[in-house]
């Protein structure tokens, strides 16, 4: 076929497209799973840099997400569960080179971080049939689960969610 708009499945572009789709699906899946398992704000997760994931100072086998300032100007220090660590390890070969865990190519050609999770949320709502869920509702659910089911104190949950303690 000599038409430049047509190519056969065995051509190299088909493999690249398939690989790109798999990578994109992996990144989107890991984004939502990390959002749900870490309880962080969506903007904080979207802008997560690989340099912010560090070994815990008390146990080098455990990881922490440390950011010197956050939305409320306080430092952010979230323990990374073994499940979240496994997701990050899955993402590392895909996105580490960019510096961001969730990189995005900007219109000007520069690489930055994901800034909008509404499109993937809309796709997830449509695919799942659950239309009334939001990223913020996930944070509320995590808070409730930690206090009511896991019996974690409100002060610890407040710190994990990076809220300020009253008073």
Digitized pLDDT (tens) for each residue of the chain, 167 residues in all: 455 554 444 555 556 655 666 677 788 888 888 888 887 878 888 889 999 999 888 888 888 888 887 777 777 788 888 999 999 999 999 999 989 998 887 677 666 666 666 677 777 778 778 777 777 777 788 888 888 888 888 888 877 777 776 66
pLDDT tens sequence across 23-51:
777 888 888 888 888 878 788 888 899 99
Q: Return the sign of the alpha-carbon dihedral for residues 47, 142, 70, 125.
A: positive
Nearest CA to 44 out of 22, 73, 86, 24 is that of 73
Query: Tokens representing 126?
Result: 């449509």
What is the helix, strand, coil percentage profile of the chain, to 5? 50, 15, 35
CB atoms within 10 A of CB 42: 21
pTM here is 0.71
- Measured CA to CA, the distance from residue 33 to residue 16 in angstroms comes to 26
Strand residues in the chain grouped as ranges (E): 53-55, 63-67, 76-80, 103-105, 111-113
């Amino acid at each position: 076929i000599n038409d430049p708009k047509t190519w056969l499945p065995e051509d190299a572009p088909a493999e690249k497209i398939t690989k790109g789709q798999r990578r994109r699906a992996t990144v989107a899946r890991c984004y939502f799973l990390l959002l749900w398992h870490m309880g962080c704000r969506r903007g904080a997760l979207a802008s997560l840099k690989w340099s912010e994931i560090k070994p815990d100072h008390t146990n080098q086998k455990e990881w922490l997400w440390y950011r010197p300032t956050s939305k409320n100007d306080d430092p952010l220090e979230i323990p990374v569960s073994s499940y979240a660590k496994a997701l990050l390890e899955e993402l590392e070969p895909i996105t580490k080179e960019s510096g961001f865990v969730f990189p995005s190519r900007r219109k000007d050609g520069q690489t930055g971080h994901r800034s909008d999770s509404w499109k993937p949320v809309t796709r997830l709502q449509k695919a799942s049939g659950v239309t009334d869920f939001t990223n913020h509702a996930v944070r509320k659910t995590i808070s409730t689960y930690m206090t009511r089911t896991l019996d974690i104190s409100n002060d610890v949950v407040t710190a994990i969610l990076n809220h300020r303690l009253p008073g």
